[in-house]
Chain A
């Protein structure tokens, strides 16, 4: 009988490996899209030569891939991973299938910060332009989490308290953002809209590096904490009886998830749906064990965001659509289809 459990585990591992391979294949395909005609194989040859055989590098291909295309594609991969992982962890931590990385008001804080920077031309520590926007969005996206921690320390760190405190802060920030928008010029308003719709076109190598730091560290910590998350989904009383301080754990997770999501949202704007839907789609195939759910959501979130961005780039080329629009257009129908076809009850 135990053999059945082993086979079940192996199937889950194969699924994760499949998702990871798909992630790299989609990345390779995404790198073929652009004005220079570079084939799928040439993309991988160029990447290999860039790192391991510099003498054989085709400089035109290398420039097109590493300078022009890679930041955007890699940015999509990292942001998708981060949002997928943060969504899976947030849903387990809040014991709520509607939770996503933005549940605690991160997006509204980031929007406020970006609107301030873009609209009012306020600089951060003397830094203006796009870096000023990134810093403002990052700092303000963490304010809601700080408020939740403050409220939780005074009252309780139950999932419901956290969600309600997040909603209160979200409304407050949205109101502030609306007030600022009323006084903005058309061009500033357009820039605010572009940012808030989610966009990977402005992601730079520096942005990728910063996002990668938060994503890799955060994902590894969350995978290591995945058994604790499994305990948390059984309820706070049960978790306490099993030796886990549910309140403390929830605060640690809140900080970790907020940092991961904030590091993404400040570079890409608000990309919805990935963090909400990726974990649910994975649950349909793998179940809710966070040891498998978190790595699989990372790979699947990356695939979903890169595919969405691909479509955003080509559907009305040469104009780009905001990727946030496409994630919803793709993710929504896929999710509805799976909901209808799903035989097992997942929630």
Chain B
């Protein structure tokens, strides 16, 4: 799987571009986190990759093919998606909710094979006990795990996650992020996740892409990207970075006053 962003531009208003000349290639099975302040274009960037938004300039190549020339179904066969918050309006059971993630691949009736895939992912997320519960009866943490399971049930080559841990307590944040961080090695997937939690990202990410001003400001391992200087420039925050278990750990001091 190879996803190339080539001179990618996007703007809702042509005079105010959100993304400008973004270039990057996703190739290796890795856990990659996109970071940056609010409004910097993180969600816009991932939505351009999976065609929820159409770039206003440049292109996204998926295995060498422009995603604008790919049908949604073809693109979906390569990529899974987990939105920031679930918009499910009428609740299904947990099994049926996850089954929706398979539906463009399956026949009208539920086959044993489909059901096995759903139960496999339930086991992976350790939520098999929730199988027959109604989706809207779950806690926020369980809820998010189910949405996550729906995004990965097809085991696509790439999974895009838009702040999947934003509504979770720290225990569930850690648990969900750990599961995601193991998927690249276990299932040979590229996991691309937007995250605001700097220390959880530092603990688990293989690579961090830091966005600023509609472009990639820094990219590399957590130790390379999460530096005192980068955090000051991108977030406007004074912080100290120490090392814990070979990973950077950020101690936030104060917001720097805007001039």
A contacts, CB < 8 Å to B: 1-2, 4-5, 8-9, 91-92, 95-97, 224, 226-228, 230-231, 233-238, 240-245, 283, 287-289, 291, 344-347
* Cross-chain contact A2 with B115 (CB below 8 angstroms): yes
Q: Interface residues of B, CB < 8 Å — how many? A: 45
A228 to B137, CA, bound (A): 24
Closest B residue to A245 by beta carbon equals B72
A5 to B112, CA, bound (A): 11
Q: Measured between C-beta atoms, what is the minimum distance from B216 to chain A in Å?
A: 23
Contact partners of A2 in chain B: CB under 8 A: 112, 115-116, 119
Closest B residue to A226 by beta carbon equals B108
A291 to B112, CA, bound (A): 17
A241 to B50, CA, bound (A): 6
Closest B residue to A95 by beta carbon equals B89
Grouping DSSP codes into helix (H, G, I), strand (E, B) and loop, the B interface class, with mixed when no group exceeds half, is: mixed
A-B contact pairs, 7 of them (CB 8 A): A2-B116, A2-B119, A92-B89, A234-B87, A243-B71, A289-B92, A347-B91
Contact partners of A244 in chain B: CB under 8 A: 72-73, 104
A97 to B104, CA, bound (A): 25
Q: Lowest 8 A-B CB distances belong to which pairs?
A: A235-B87, A243-B76, A241-B81, A243-B73, A288-B90, A95-B89, A243-B72, A243-B104
**B96-119 contacts to A (CB < 8 Å):** 96-97, 100-101, 103-104, 106, 108, 110, 112, 115-116, 119
Q: Measured between C-beta atoms, what is the minimum distance from B101 to chain A in Å?
A: 7
Q: Which of A8, A230, A237 contacts B81 (CB 8 A)?
A: A237
Q: Measured between C-beta atoms, what is the minimum distance from A55 to chain B in Å?
A: 43
Scan B149-189; emit 1 where CB is below 8 A from any A CB, else 0: 01000000000100000000000000000000000000000
Closest B residue to A235 by beta carbon equals B87
B contacts, CB < 8 Å to A: 47, 50-52, 71-77, 79-81, 83, 86-93, 95-97, 100-101, 103-104, 106, 108, 110, 112, 115-116, 119, 128, 131-132, 134, 136-137, 150, 160
Q: Measured between C-beta atoms, what is the minimum distance from B84 to chain A in Å?
A: 9
* Cross-chain contact B83 with A345 (CB below 8 angstroms): no
* Cross-chain contact B52 with A240 (CB below 8 angstroms): yes
Q: Measured between C-beta atoms, what is the minimum distance from A65 to chain B in Å?
A: 37
Known: A238-B83, A287-B93, A346-B90. 5 other contacts (CB 8 A): A1-B119, A230-B103, A233-B89, A243-B104, A345-B134
A8 to B79, CA, bound (A): 31
* Cross-chain contact B128 with A224 (CB below 8 angstroms): no
Contact partners of A347 in chain B: CB under 8 A: 89-91, 136
* Cross-chain contact B96 with A227 (CB below 8 angstroms): no
* Cross-chain contact B93 with A283 (CB below 8 angstroms): no
Q: Which of A5, A9, A96, A234 contacts B100 (CB 8 A)?
A: A234
Contact partners of B131 in chain A: CB under 8 A: 1, 4-5
Contact partners of B97 in chain A: CB under 8 A: 234
* Cross-chain contact A237 with B104 (CB below 8 angstroms): no
* Cross-chain contact A288 with B91 (CB below 8 angstroms): yes
Contact partners of B106 in chain A: CB under 8 A: 227
Q: Measured between C-beta atoms, what is the minimum distance from A11 to chain B in Å?
A: 11
Q: Which of A235, A241, A344 contacts B79 (CB 8 A)?
A: A241
A240 to B73, CA, bound (A): 9
Contact partners of A238 in chain B: CB under 8 A: 81, 83, 87
* Cross-chain contact A230 with B87 (CB below 8 angstroms): no
Interface centre among A97, A224, A242, A345 (most CB of B within 10 A): A242
Q: Which of A230, A237, A291 contacts B52 (CB 8 A)?
A: A237
Closest A residue to B51 by beta carbon equals A240
A245 to B160, CA, bound (A): 19
* Cross-chain contact B83 with A235 (CB below 8 angstroms): yes
* Cross-chain contact A287 with B132 (CB below 8 angstroms): no
* Cross-chain contact B77 with A243 (CB below 8 angstroms): yes
Closest A residue to B99 by beta carbon equals A230
* Cross-chain contact A227 with B88 (CB below 8 angstroms): no
* Cross-chain contact B103 with A227 (CB below 8 angstroms): yes
* Cross-chain contact B96 with A289 (CB below 8 angstroms): yes
* Cross-chain contact B104 with A9 (CB below 8 angstroms): no
Contact partners of B150 in chain A: CB under 8 A: 234
Q: Measured between C-beta atoms, what is the minimum distance from B232 to chain A in Å?
A: 34
Contact partners of A228 in chain B: CB under 8 A: 103
Contact partners of B89 in chain A: CB under 8 A: 92, 95-97, 233, 235, 347
Contact partners of A237 in chain B: CB under 8 A: 47, 52, 81, 83, 87
* Cross-chain contact B134 with A283 (CB below 8 angstroms): no
* Cross-chain contact B110 with A345 (CB below 8 angstroms): no
* Cross-chain contact B101 with A242 (CB below 8 angstroms): yes
* Cross-chain contact B136 with A227 (CB below 8 angstroms): no
A224 to B108, CA, bound (A): 8
A47 to B93, CA, bound (A): 42
Closest B residue to A288 by beta carbon equals B90
Q: Measured between C-beta atoms, what is the minimum distance from A222 to chain B in Å?
A: 13
Closest A residue to B106 by beta carbon equals A227
A344 to B136, CA, bound (A): 9
